[in-house]
A and B are shown apart, each in its own frame.
Chain A
Amino acid sequence: MAKHSVSMTVNGQLHEGAVEPRLLLVHYLRDNLGLTGTHIGCDTSQCGACAILLDGEAVKSCTLFAVQAEGANLTTIEGIAAGERLHPIQEGFHAEHGLQCGYCTPGMVIAAYDLLQGNPDPTDAEIRHALHGNICRCTGYQHIVKAIQHAVATLRTRDAAVVGSAR
């Protein structure tokens, strides 16, 4: 089959290439771009290990073809930290033991990032609702909820500091 040229911005960097239409976005990210932080779990749209942000919205990259992301702006787990400095959500997972094996964690962080963009002060129930599409077989979720609340507190303090310094 004829290849299609695609161009998309991933973690702030423009990538161009030619792909078979049937190439899944998750394979493009992992195999073509070498961004292996995005995991393949169930491969059936259920587990959320492959979650990325597509134009700001969390989606399952195992259920999109790379050609569908033509022109899009993507963020993978590699684009969440600022260089060596972890994002507050990542810090939260570290501080609150939000992972054991870590396989689901990239997707969890992406889903949490998406949630906090729209709802900076979620209840535990809202966090659980937002993580409905992300499965963890280790933690029992309690520590993941705590990790995200940890991030909420960090971000609140930081925002307050920013507002304070702007005065």
Chain B
Amino acid sequence: MIPEAFEYAAPAAIAEAIDLLASRGDDAKVLAGGHSLIPMMKLRLASPGVLVDIGRIPELRGIRVHSDMVTIGATTTHAQIEQSGDLRDRFPIMAETATVIGDPLVRHRGTFGGSLAHADPAADWPAVALALNATIHATGPSGDRTIAAREFFIDLFTSALEPGELLTAVDLPYPTLSTGMAYEKFAHPASGYAVIGIAAVIGVDADGICRDCRVGITGAGAKATRADAAEMTLLGELLTGERIRQASGHAGAEIDLLSDLVASERYRAHLVAVLTARALRTAWERARPLAAKNDWYAD
């Protein structure tokens, strides 16, 4: 399959990329890893007039550790995240998620920033970015700005990025409490995309009270969403297996569930509840290994 003809530019700096995007408007498209865009172009679902390849901008790639957060450059690949020693200790959910995206060959090219900007409703990273309270950096003709993950996913394949804006990096703030995190995915067996994916982060205090709870859901609706009702059920409470089961029943309550040939609305609702329970339980076990295990087995 051969895409429609286009012009190609590979700028070496962010400013140059922004200028190119500004001068060509809607006709321009950003090429990062290309593992969503190129298949779309081959099917002629996308036919941009010019591709701005940001793969040769060194400052967009790599993982930088700060005292209070880690910053992941937009064109950092899934494979780099999977193998990153800097992420392993603080954000084990990053490698856990990376390793279930696509396949090893796809992970060598597909990028973290590209996946977020594409806002595919079945992509994995949006759920994780929501659960980790990520902050997204964007640069455009009118300067730099930051966007909270919560404000970033707008609709089907639609993010908060303005035309001409480039996603440059993503900050992941370190958790301050004793925290566990987990990603649970039910993958479509052929495409590998998430039918449902649940990212859960749980922080507990010394008494086992849940002081932090963030759940990101992907695959369920037109965009990745936080499970507010489920989170509220757990915040401030002593965690037990029973309470987690209750909370999971509220997950997805806010979502207008998709129904398509992959899964019916009812099946999606079922998967959301089951996978939320699993993700929360695992996150909880990781936050307080002994307390969680004892309680779970006592139920």
**A interface list, Cβ under 8 A from B:** 1-2, 4, 20-22, 24, 43-46, 48, 51, 54, 57-60, 63-65, 67-68, 70, 111, 114-115, 129-130, 132-134
Question: Contacts A58-B105, A63-B38; is A20 near B10 (CB within 8 Å)?
Answer: no
Contact B109 A67 (CB under 8 A): no
Given A48-B105, A68-B34, do A43 and B8 touch, yes or no (CB 8 Å)? no
Q: Nearest-CB distance from B123 to chain A (Å)?
A: 15
Cβ-Cβ contact count across A and B, 8 Å cutoff:
79
B256 to A: closest C-beta gap in Å: 29
- Encode B1-18 as 1/0 by CB contact (under 8 A) with A: 111111110100000000
A133 and B104 contact, CB distance less than 8 A: yes
Tell me, rounded to whole Å, the shortest Cβ–Cβ distance linking A130 to chain B.
6
Residues on B lying within 8 angstroms of A by beta carbon are 1-8, 10, 31, 34-35, 38-39, 41-42, 51, 53, 55, 79, 102-106, 108-109, 190
Report whether A1 and B35 are in contact in the complex, using a CB–CB cutoff of 8 Å: no
Q: Which residues of A contact B106 (CB under 8 A)?
A: 45, 60, 63, 133
A45 touches B35 (CB 8 A): yes
Instruction: Pick 11 A–B contacts, CB within 8 A, sort by A.
Output: A21-B7, A21-B8, A21-B51, A22-B4, A43-B42, A64-B34, A68-B34, A111-B104, A129-B104, A130-B104, A133-B104
Q: Is the CB of A22 within 8 A of B6?
A: yes
In the complex, are the beta carbons of A63 and B103 less than 8 A apart?
no
Chain A residues near B53 (CB, 8 Å)? Answer: 67-68
A58 and B34: CB pair below 8 A? no
Known A21-B8, A21-B51, A22-B3; further 4 A-B contacts with Cβ < 8 A: A22-B41, A43-B42, A58-B105, A59-B105
A133 to B42, CA, bound (A): 19
User: In the complex, which of the residues A22, A43, A134 has the most CB atoms of chain B within 10 Å of its own CB atom?
Assistant: A22
- State in angstroms the CA–CA spacing of A43 and B43 once bound together: 10
A57 and B10 in contact (CB under 8 A), knowing A45-B39, A68-B34? no
Instruction: Closest B residue to A50 by CB, please name it.
Output: B105
**Are B39's CB and A44's CB within 8 A?**
yes
Name B103's contact: one of A20, A68, A133 (CB within 8 Å): A133
Q: What residues of B have a CB within 8 angstroms of the CB of A63 in the complex?
A: 34-35, 38-39, 106, 109
Known: A59-B105, A63-B109, A133-B105. A22 touches B2 (CB 8 A): yes
Q: Do A1 and B108 touch (CB < 8 A)?
A: no
Q: How far is the CA of A94 from the CA of B2 in the complex (A)?
A: 35
Please provide the 6 A-B residue pairs with the shortest distance between their CB atoms, ordered closest to farther.
Answer: A133-B103, A21-B8, A132-B103, A133-B105, A57-B108, A1-B5
Return chain B residues, CB-CB under 8 Å to A132.
103-104
